[in-house]
Amino acid sequence: MPIACDPDAKRIYVLKCDRARSLQATPRFFMRYLTRRQKSRYRKFGDELETSKLTADQMAEGLYKHVGEVLVGWENLHRPDGADVPYAADRLTDLDDVLTDRELWELYFAGMTELDGADLGFSGSQSSSSTGESASPADAPSA
């Protein structure tokens, strides 16, 4: 089954500001994979923003719409007072209580680029091997 069609396939994304934190304390965002057509629509939104005259609130609304297409959950996300921010697909604007504008944009670009924890040198997944060690990420081919 193609990965973008597998409802159980997801990747972990960790915000840049959280990559040095321990695994237990790190907020993690779970994203699904996009088909080429979905990614094309996703990219088109970003291109249209460059020429639009949207207000900050209109821009955020568009970002939430597109991030909502790829974001399927999160964990270890807390408000400044320590209260948990539970994931709900219809309440993505709850992220306004915890993310900066830059971090919301980071999630948008992460959805488009398909970077995940392993690509970033961070893996929130447990190894399935009997030794408990994960395989190293493959190096990109040299040009």
Q: What pLDDT is recorded for position 142?
A: 45
Q: Which residues contact 60 (CB under 8 A, 6 or more apart)?
A: 96, 101, 104
CA distance 77 to 85: 6
pLDDT at 47 over 90: no
β-partners of residue 78 are 84
- Listed by start position, the domains of the chain span 10-113
- H/E segment holding residue 97: none
Q: How far apart are CA 17 and CA 20, in angstroms?
A: 8
Rg (CA), the chain: 16
Chain centre distance of CA 129: 26
Residues 1/43, Cβ–Cβ less than 8 Å: no
- pLDDT (0 to 100) of residue 57: 84
Write the pLDDT tens digit of every residue in 70-97.
Answer: 999 999 999 999 999 999 999 999 999 9
In this structure, what is the dihedral angle of CA atoms 90, 28, 71, 113, given to the nearest 10 degrees? Answer: 150
- Mean pLDDT across 126-135: 39
What is the residue-averaged pLDDT of the chain?
A: 79
